[in-house]
Amino acid sequence: MKIKILNQSITNFHGDIIIVNLFEGIKLPGGATGAVDKALDGMITKLIKNKEITGKLGECVVLHTFNKIKPDKVLIVGLGKSSEFGLEQIRKASGAAAKQARKTKAKKVGTVVHGAGIRGLEPGAAAQALIEGTLLALYEFKEYKKPEQSNIEEFSVVEMDKQKNKSFQKGIKTGKILAESQNIARDLINEPSNNLTPKKLDQRIKSIIKNAGLEKIIGYNCLNKTDIKKLKMGALISVAQGSDNEPKFIILRIKNPKKPLICLIGKTVTFDSGGISLKPSANMGLMKGDMSGGASVIGATLALAKAKTKLNLMTIIPAVENMPSAKASRPGDVVRAMNNKTIEIISTDAEGRMT
């Protein structure tokens, strides 16, 4: 989806739908909403009076403009109570509005930045929250199904005041980085386990880094089963040994020797059956998501790299699959960790603390 800034009146936007807002309890809209209301001969005010628009957080009301202004439709999104308003309310309202706009099959959407300048909110921070809420709400995992809904192709932030452009641009860029990185993590979490074994995760991360053009920023190292055994990582091996899919110990690195080292570690069990301590079959398919910790730190690392962080960062992703078999660890087994401590396994479904 293309995102851009337009310096013009919201009523002159050339597109399918415009998004304006309303606080709860407001009887006479002002600002951009007031301008749209005036152009529509007071239609919004009438609906407020009739309590058909309340301004409750996330409430969305779509109106047809009947050629009174250039866009075909207007979407009024509720911002909730002004006394409770903040960045999280912007994210929630923006997400609700984006979903509703998509339902109208809109291709070109124009929006104001909700809350810029209200209660001391910096315009760039408001723009960032707008983009985060929009992109996160529009996320779909489309790998194996035909998308059920049409996609918004162009999303325009409409603002009359050109002096806000620089702040908006910075906020939009940051919001896009954060939301897209989170959505990459969501893609990894939603991926079926047969298509995201430790080996395939290794390949996937390399591909993500390459496609993002971050190969010179993020250092990459992956230890295989032989390497892991040489390092005597007995706890990690004990979780993986029941599976035919070998473990991978993946290390991402953003170097800055001038800063203290920060380490991110995420649990990355690509499928957790529980091992010999087998989980109940109901909802076991959700255990493809037992690598959510790893996906989260991958997303965080990507976001930091795209934002050109000055941190000295190491991200550790110990990828394993926990399966029952004749080779699997048993309750009562004792294994030796890399630090030479011994660990008695009471339940093989307590694998997270072992990796």
Give the pair of three-digit tokens for residue 3: 């995102």
Question: Which of 188, 221, 238 is the last residue in one of the domains?
Answer: 188
DSSP secondary structure string for all residues of 76-95? EEE---GGG-SHHHHHHHHH
Q: What is the pLDDT of residues 167-222, one digit of tens each?
A: 999 999 999 999 999 999 999 999 999 999 999 999 999 999 999 999 999 999 99
Please tell me whether residues 209 and 157 are part of one structural domain: no
Please tell me whether residues 238 and 255 are part of one structural domain: yes
Give the three-state DSSP class for 319. Answer: strand
Which of 186, 279, 306, 341 is catalytic? The answer is 279
All residues at 6 or more sequence positions from 100 whose CB lies less than 8 Å from its CB, including other chains: 60, 62, 75, 77
Please tell me whether residues 201 and 184 are part of one structural domain: no
Q: How many CA atoms lie within 13 A of 52 on its CB side?
A: 9
Alpha helices (H) in the chain, listed in sequence order: 31-39, 43-49, 87-103, 123-137, 165-190, 198-211, 225-230, 234-240, 292-306
How far apart CA 18 and CA 217 sit, in angstroms, is: 39
Q: What is the pLDDT of residues 49-71, one digit of tens each?
A: 999 999 999 999 999 999 999 99
CATH code at position 53: 3.40.220.10
* Segment (H or E) for 10: none
255 is catalytic: no
CATH code at position 236: 3.40.630.10
Judge contact between 86 and 121, C-beta under 8 A: yes
Please tell me whether residues 184 and 200 are part of one structural domain: no
Please tell me whether residues 205 and 179 are part of one structural domain: no
Q: What confidence category does residue 117 fall into, taking pLDDT thresholds of 50, 70 and 90? A: confident
Distances 32 to 10, 40, 154, 309, 343 between C-alpha atoms, Å: 7, 12, 20, 36, 64
How many other CB atoms are found less than 10 A from the CB of residue 22?
A: 26
How far apart CA 281 and CA 226 sit, in angstroms, is: 33
**Angle CA 127–133–135, to nearest 5:** 100
279 is catalytic: yes
Provide the pLDDT for residue 239: 98
Query: How many structural domains comprise the chain?
Result: 2
Mean of per-residue pLDDT scores for the chain: 97
Q: What is the pLDDT of residues 71-99, one digit of tens each?
A: 999 999 999 999 999 999 999 999 999 99
Question: Which of 142, 163, 188 is the last residue in one of the domains?
Answer: 188
Provide the pLDDT for residue 82: 95
Please tell me whether residues 76 and 53 are part of one structural domain: yes
Question: Which of 137, 170, 188 is the last residue in one of the domains?
Answer: 188
Provide the pLDDT for residue 149: 73
Please tell me whether residues 288 and 180 are part of one structural domain: no
Please tell me whether residues 236 and 112 are part of one structural domain: no
Please tell me whether residues 141 and 199 are part of one structural domain: no
Q: What is the pLDDT of residues 122-160, one digit of tens each?
A: 999 999 999 999 999 999 998 898 877 779 999 999 999
Q: What confidence category does residue 103 fall into, taking pLDDT thresholds of 50, 70 and 90? A: very high
Please tell me whether residues 168 and 283 are part of one structural domain: no
Please tell me whether residues 91 and 232 are part of one structural domain: no
Judge contact between 21 and 78, C-beta under 8 A: yes
Judge contact between 22 and 34, C-beta under 8 A: no
Please tell me whether residues 18 and 114 are part of one structural domain: yes
Domain that holds residue 212: 194-353
